[in-house]
């Protein structure tokens, strides 16, 4: 019996170049990621238009869009629905839906039409054991060089935490700008992590540095105030 082989496309990984594509969106055609080469991007998928969890997410993202833009981060959404479904859904959100005090919400960031699932498959957004015809709630953080820096996946039933998505975009930029790492539950203003010393001599120097707080040679932190972080990130 002749077997039909299904094409397997591996999910891109952190550090990979973001897979390129051209697509039709609610804001016109885009060439991704080339059109966003000077910005960070959050590329995210949702299971379907006219669904309640997705509606709550889009309203939240739309109300936070200016905040992300100030951090040099653009938003790009995707589902496997068609363009006219997208347009009708976003119009319904603006005209009829009120949630957590949000109403008359207009979604201005692009929402990709992906009825062929071409883009969703490139990014591993279709996970058959969850659903073979809907994208899961994937989030890709892509830097201005087009490199994937963080990936977060949620199942269909779990709405995303948008404060966490904003925290991630600030933390990634802070780590790049100041050459540091961010510890568990870090928020701007918290101490940051200094990378491990590469030699005995540098370890000794760090232990004696008054600006660095070392609990041991491998665990050193320093203060980085919130204004310094946000001024650097928001003025880029």
Residue 43 inside a domain? The answer is: yes
How many distinct structural domains can be found in the chain?
2
Q: Are residues 151 and 110 in the same domain?
A: yes
CATH number for the domain spanning 207: value is 3.30.1020.10
What is the reported pTM? 0.91
Q: Are residues 37 and 149 in the same domain?
A: yes
Parent domain of 63: 21-161
Instruction: Tell me: is residue 149 an annotated ligand-binding position.
Output: no
Q: Are residues 142 and 195 in the same domain?
A: no
3-state secondary structure of 193: strand
Angle at 42 between CA 224 and CA 70, to 5 degrees: 50
Residue 11 inside a domain? The answer is: no
* Mean pLDDT value across residues 107-118: 96
Q: Are residues 106 and 44 in the same domain?
A: yes
Give the DSSP per-residue string, 89-146.
HHHHHHHH--BTTB-S----S-EEE-TT-HHHHHTT--BTTTBSSS--EEEEEE-TTS
Q: What percent of the chain has pLDDT over 70?
A: 90
* Mean pLDDT value across residues 173-196: 94
- Per the annotation, the verdict on 200 as an active-site residue is no
Residue 33 inside a domain? The answer is: yes
Per-residue pLDDT at 1 exceeds 90: no
Backbone angles phi, psi at 79, to 5 degrees: -150, 170
Q: What is the pLDDT of residues 157-169, one digit of tens each?
A: 999 999 999 999 9
* Mean pLDDT value across residues 55-79: 97
Q: Are residues 184 and 150 in the same domain?
A: no
Structure token pair of residue 191: 């101490």
Q: Are residues 219 and 146 in the same domain?
A: no
Structure token pair of residue 225: 């105030």
Residue 156 · residue 131 · CB < 8 Å? yes
List the catalytic residue out of 54, 200, 214, 220: 54
Q: Are residues 129 and 213 in the same domain?
A: no
């Amino acid at each position: 019996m002749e077997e039909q082989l299904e094409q397997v496309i591996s999910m891109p990984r952190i550090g990979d170049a973001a897979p390129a594509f051209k697509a039709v969106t609610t804001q016109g055609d885009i060439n991704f990621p080339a059109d966003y080469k000077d910005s960070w991007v959050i590329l995210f998928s949702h299971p379907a238009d006219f669904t309640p969890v997705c509606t709550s997410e889009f309203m939240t993202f739309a109300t936070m869009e200016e905040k992300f833009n100030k951090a040099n981060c653009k938003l790009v959404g995707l589902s496997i629905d068609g363009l006219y479904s997208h347009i009708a859904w976003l119009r319904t959100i603006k005209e009829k839906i009120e949630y957590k005090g949000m109403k008359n919400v207009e979604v201005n960031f692009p929402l990709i039409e992906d009825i062929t699932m071409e883009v969703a498959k490139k990014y591993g957004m279709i996970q058959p054991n969850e659903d073979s015809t809907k994208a899961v709630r994937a989030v890709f953080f892509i830097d201005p060089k087009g490199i994937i820096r963080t990936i977060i996946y949620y199942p269909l039933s779990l709405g995303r935490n948008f404060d966490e998505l904003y925290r991630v975009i600030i933390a990634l930029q802070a780590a790049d700008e100041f050459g540091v790492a961010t510890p568990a539950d870090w928020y701007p203003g918290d101490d940051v992590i200094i990378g491990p010393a590469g030699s005995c001599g540098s370890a000794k120097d760090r232990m004696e540095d008054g600006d660095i707080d070392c609990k041991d040679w491998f665990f050193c932190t320093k203060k980085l105030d919130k204004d310094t972080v946000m001024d650097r990130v928001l003025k880029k």
